[in-house]
Amino acid sequence: DASVYAHHTLREIMEQPEVVARALAPRPEIELAAGALRTAGRVFAVGAGTSYHAAMVARYAFAEVAGVDLQPVLASEHDLFLRWMDAGSVVLAISQSGETADVLEAVRAARAKGARIVSIVNVPHSTLERESDLSVNVRAGPEVGVAATKSFTAQLSTLFSMALEAAGRPPLDAERLRQLVTSALSSEGSARAAGERLRDATDVYIVGRGVHYPVALEGALKVKELAYVHAEGLAAGELKHGTLAMVEEGTPVVLVNPGDGTYVDTISNGEEMKARGAFVIGISERPNDLYDLHIPIPEARGLELPIVEVVPLQLLAYYVALARGAEIDRPRNLAKSVTVK
Ligand code: F6R
């Protein structure tokens, strides 16, 4: 029952097991999109905000599973990339609303260069859907909370399905993902404890390596817009190139730290911060002495990880916001659909 949740945002976070399973279901549009990708010259993925983070995650996924060099493009910065777009290009236009002005402008400019437009949208019958050569719906259902949550995991699921299909590889197992996301949601208690711990924080650093880096960016965006706490997502390896100077006694740091090939290096970056007094929150399958607070995630692998690990970040942002009394479903200064440049 939807009414058991205090906020649409929390309900939408909790809906994700079903959302992800639905988004992973095969459909003809995904096959068509994969066909276009197989014969494409350059591939771009355009988006803004959370949808841009999905494009960034997709870059790792497409490289890894399909050997495709996908170039993420910030919709508002698309000008720079136009010179590379031609009739051989495929532009994946990612937008929950399908009405974001910057995305529409980028798509119109790309189309004028001859590029094929494949949109990945959530709201049916949107302007973007109408203006695409092909449109794939992510099937997240209506997203009421201004902060994008379930639409992000639905975008990732859809993009991963496309990459796997383009590579002729089997799709992710929807039932398994449903269970993994359910299990990630069961860490709500730890995410809540972490959120309450961050109530009076002024800055939070969220760090990850590889594909976990854009997930860290997404977590930081959620913390900013829901809780109005300054948050920064960072590639873990970048810390010592400047931001480490910000770390002092009690500075909260969230490590997106699953047990894949990034684990050891991210731990050592965490140790560098801890040595300067950081309060370390670790998102990982297993505890580690380094973590002052551990938010467990289930054992997952490869493309499953970004979907699974963003869930505790969403919950963390939600609970920081709740502890601070922020207006969660409708953050100040923001609109659900940004129809002006
Ligand atoms: C963040 C958020 C925004 C949107 C951005 C793009 O939670 O909601 O950053 O992701 O405005 O919106 P769409 O996906 O509708 O193009």
Mean pLDDT value across residues 61-86:
97
Res. 107 pLDDT band, cuts 50 70 90: very high
Please, what is the average pLDDT of the chain? 96
Q: What is the pLDDT of residue 269?
A: 97
Q: What is the pLDDT of residue 326?
A: 87
Specify the pTM.
Answer: 0.97
Residue 331 per-residue DSSP state: -
> In 3D, which of 305, 313, 335, 341 has the Cα closest to residue 96?
335
Residue 329 per-residue DSSP state: S
Q: What is the pLDDT of residue 2?
A: 52
Is there an atom of ligand 1 within 6 Å of 51 CB?
A: yes
Is there an atom of ligand 1 within 6 Å of 128 CB?
A: no
Is there an atom of ligand 1 within 6 Å of 72 CB?
A: no
Instruction: Determine what percent of the chain is predicted with pLDDT higher than 90.
Output: 94
Ligand 1: nearest atom to the Cα of 53: 10
Q: What is the pLDDT of residue 270?
A: 97
Atom 16 of ligand 1, residue of closest alpha carbon: 95
> In 3D, which of 218, 205, 326 has the Cα closest to residue 266?
205
Q: What is the pLDDT of residue 332?
A: 83
Q: What is the pLDDT of residue 21?
A: 98
The model's pLDDT over 170-212, given as tens digits with 9 standing for 90+, comes to 999 999 999 999 999 999 999 999 999 999 999 999 999 999 9
Q: Provide the sign of the torsion angle of the four alpha carbons 156, 222, 321, 279, taken in this order.
A: positive
ipTM: 0.99
Res. 336 pLDDT band, cuts 50 70 90: confident
Mean pLDDT value across residues 141-153:
95
CA of 151 to the centre of ligand 1 (A): 9
Q: What is the pLDDT of residue 340?
A: 84
Is there an atom of ligand 1 within 6 Å of 76 CB?
A: no
Atom 5 of ligand 1, residue of closest alpha carbon: 49
Is there an atom of ligand 1 within 6 Å of 95 CB?
A: yes
| Look-up of token digits 């136009």 | 82
CA of 214 to the centre of ligand 1 (A): 15
Residue 1 has pLDDT above 60, yes or no: no
From residue 245, alpha-carbon distances to 105, 251, 273 in Å are 39, 11, 10
Ligand 1: nearest atom to the Cα of 103: 16
Asked whether 32 and 26 are in contact (CB, 8 A), the reply is: no
Is there an atom of ligand 1 within 6 Å of 149 CB?
A: no
CA of 96 to the centre of ligand 1 (A): 7
Q: Which two tokens stand for residue 257?
A: 């730290």
